[in-house]
A and B are shown apart, each in its own frame.
Chain A
Amino acid sequence: MSRVIVITSGKGGVGKTTTSASISAGLAMKGYKVAVIDFDVGLRNLDLIMGCERRVVYDFVNVVQGEATLKQALIKDKRIDNLYILAASQTRDKDALTKKGVGNVIEDLKADGFDFIICDSPAGIEKGAQLALYYADEAIVVTNPEVSSVRDSDRILGILQAKSQRAENGDEPIVEHLVLTRYNPERVETGEMLAADDVIDLLRVKLLGVVPESQQVLNASNSGTPVILESGSDAAQAYMDIVDRFLGEEKEHRFLSSEKKGLFQKLFGR
């Protein structure tokens, strides 16, 4: 059974695309067949983070409008087997997507035997974001530990339960997960950031994982690598945990408190 997952947030710049890239790569590494679709038509980013921007010939809009086949447009990842990317168009805008067209693409992907279809939503709550979540079975809401991001996530959670196909048909509601990114325990302690508990308390969504704020995420993005592949880094471990928990594994949450500096580290000023 294919699972359609939307990665959404409401607010921009919180790490949706980074999370989409890493979760897709993580699931593919586990042996699942994964397609990740960039819904941010006009502002495509996913292909950059996945490092395949020079291999885009046909894009999502071409497929939706019947100008190319799905096979032509799916870009196979060079590092991981079973991982395919459907890039967004840079030259069109979100009006180029239709509900029916998107539905056809998702149906075709299901028929092709994809285990996971990851929809990387654009920011906002307008048409693009609503199309990205319309066909979803599950949603991963990405939030930063600050007030406006949490508020926007709350809004998008409301829309998930009101405007999705599942809501319209009266089916089982979309399963919601929360990913907290750019988490900095030191800044939480000083009160500059919201604590994870406060965010969960307000949103009432099960926490899938916390990704610590780190330079590695930026470096990985700039070099066109999903950060989950930078093994050894905190962010990669955090995303690996998230993938495991998403697949049903019970794992203790990490990166919630600041590491105590050891005596040697203190002495050598590290």
Chain B
Amino acid sequence: MSKIIDLKGSILSLTVLHIHSEDIEQTKQALAAKVEQAPDFFVGVPVVIEPHVELKDPTFLALLVEYFYQLQLIPVGIRTQDKAIQEQAAYAGLAVFPAEKKKKAKEKAERKVEGPGEPTTAMTVNGSVRSGQQIYAKQRDLIVMGSVNPGAEIVADGHVHVFGKIMGKVFAGSAGMTEAKIFAKELNPELVCIAGMYQLSEDIEPQYKQGFVEISLKDDKLVFNTEILN
């Protein structure tokens, strides 16, 4: 036998009516004027009510719902955090929707502020990265002012600069940037990796473990260069 019912989540687009007046007559008039502009458009449209003022009149909602039906609109719910209005909604037979999250709008605003002109600066760690810690610099360079201790992991989508000694694992260009480089004051790592190509400590020549070193990727091979400062 096939299923009789099925409960599934779905995202629907609804019309939301913002209310900025606590006067019911004023609201009714405004609503009638709006509907008059395009009567056919509003027939049978489900509407969510969102009050932006404190509704002191406890009958406001009931009267409004009544008026909705007269205009052939279908009130389905209310969106508010006001406890009193939520209670009224229960009497008026309306569903209560959670308040709109403002986060997205904020995020967008923040992104706008950044703009295309401003560069993304490197992530900086003041001090050492300790065993068990993981640091990820997403879509930028990483600068570590101290050492990367054994058992620590640092990852960057860009270059990695370490002003101490690398003794843990280091990943540069982790999102695939093959031009990424690793710079270290001293290197004795567990593993170094650029854009997916890695090398373990035992495969690194001891001569590269003495002092300042630059690691880059050439023809899918890691190249160690200690001469860069000379």
Whether A204 contacts B131 by the Cβ 8 Å rule is no
Beta-carbon contact of B131 and A155 below 8 Å? yes
Q: Which residues on the B side are within 8 Å of A155 (C-beta)?
A: 130-132, 151
CB atoms of A154 and B150 under 8 A apart: yes
**Is the CB of A157 closer than 8 A to any CB of chain B?**
yes
Docked Cα-Cα span, A57 to B172, in Å, equals: 58
The answer to whether A151 and B133 touch (CB under 8 A), given A204-B127, A204-B128, is no
Selected contact of A202 from candidates B127, B132, B133, B147, CB within 8 Å? B147
Compute how far the CA of A155 lies from the CA of B153 in the bound complex, rounded to whole angstroms. 12
Minimum distance in angstroms from A133 CB to a CB of chain B: 14
Q: Are A154 and B146 in contact, CB atoms less than 8 angstroms apart?
A: no
Contacts of A158 in B (CB 8 A): 130-133, 152
Candidates B146, B147, B151; contact of A151 at CB < 8 Å: B151
List residues of chain A with CB within 8 A of the CB of B147.
Answer: 202, 204
- Segment 145-167 of B: residues with Cβ below 8 Å from A: 146-147, 149-152, 167
The distance from the CB of B81 to the nearest CB of chain A, in whole angstroms, is: 28
Residues from chain A with a CB closer than 8 A to the CB of B149 are: 154, 202
CB distance from A155 to the nearest CB of B (A): 4
Residues in A121-156 with C-beta less than 8 Å from chain B: 125, 151-152, 154-155
Do A151 and B127 touch (CB < 8 A)? Answer: no
Residues of B within 8 A of A159 (CB): 132
Q: How far is the CA of A152 from the CA of B151 in the complex (A)?
A: 10
Residues of A within 8 A of B132 (CB): 125, 154-155, 158-159
Residue interface bits A158-187, CB-to-B below 8 A is 1, else 0 = 110110000000000000000000000000
| Residue of chain B at shortest CB distance from A147 | B150
What is the bound-complex CA distance between A158 and B153, given in angstroms? 13
Among A159, A162, A204, the one with the most B-chain Cβ atoms within 10 Å of its Cβ is A204
User: How far, in angstroms, from A152 to B167 measured CA to CA in the complex?
Assistant: 15
Q: Which of A125, A158, A159 counts the most chain B CB atoms within 10 A?
A: A158
Q: Which of A179-235 contact B (CB under 8 A)?
A: 202, 204
**Nearest CB to that of A202 among chain B residues?**
B149
**Residues in chain A near residue B151, CB distance under 8 A:** 151, 154-155
Q: Could you tell me the distance between the alpha carbons of A184 and B150 in the complex, rounded to whole angstroms?
A: 24
Instruction: State A95–B132 Cα separation when bound (angstroms).
Output: 24
- Residues on the B chain within 8 Å of A204, using CB: 127-128, 146-147
| Contact B128 A151, beta carbon cutoff 8 Å | no
- CB closest residue in chain A, given B130: A158
Separation in Å of the A150 CB from the closest CB of chain B?
9
Instruction: Name the B residues within 8 Å of A157 (CB-CB).
Output: 130
Contacts of A151 in B (CB 8 A): 131, 150-151
Distance A157 CA – B147 CA, assembled complex (angstroms)? 14
Q: How far is the CB of B211 from chain A (nearest CB, A)?
A: 16
Closest to B151 in A: A151
| Residue ID in chain A nearest B146 by CB atoms | A204
A18 to chain B: closest CB distance in Å? 24
Using Cβ atoms and an 8 Å threshold, which residues of chain A touch B152? 158
In the complex, what distance in Å separates the CA atom of A155 from the CA atom of B133? 8
Find the A residue at minimum CB distance from B149.
Answer: A154
In the bound assembly, the distance between CA atoms of A154 and B130 in angstroms comes to 6
Bound complex: CA of A158 vs CA of B147, how far in Å? 13
CB-contacts of B106-140 with A (<8 A)? 127-128, 130-133
Rounded to whole angstroms, the CA-CA distance of A202 and B128 in the bound complex is: 9
A244 to B87, CA, bound (A): 66
A198 to chain B, nearest CB (A): 12
- A153: nearest chain-B partner, CB-CB: B131
Q: What is the CB-to-nearest-CB distance from B153 to chain A, in angstroms, rounded to a whole number?
A: 12
Measured CB to CB, the nearest residue on chain A to B127 is A204
Which A residues form the contact surface with B (CB < 8 A)?
A: 125, 151-152, 154-155, 157-159, 161-162, 202, 204
Other 19 A-B pairs with CB < 8 A, given A159-B132, A162-B133, A204-B146: A151-B131, A152-B131, A154-B130, A154-B131, A154-B132, A154-B149, A154-B150, A154-B151, A155-B130, A155-B131, A155-B151, A158-B130, A158-B131, A158-B133, A158-B152, A161-B130, A202-B147, A202-B149, A204-B128
24 contacts between A and B (CB under 8 A): A125-B132, A151-B131, A151-B150, A151-B151, A154-B130, A154-B131, A154-B132, A154-B151, A155-B130, A155-B131, A155-B132, A155-B151, A157-B130, A158-B131, A158-B132, A158-B152, A159-B132, A162-B133, A202-B147, A202-B167, A204-B127, A204-B128, A204-B146, A204-B147
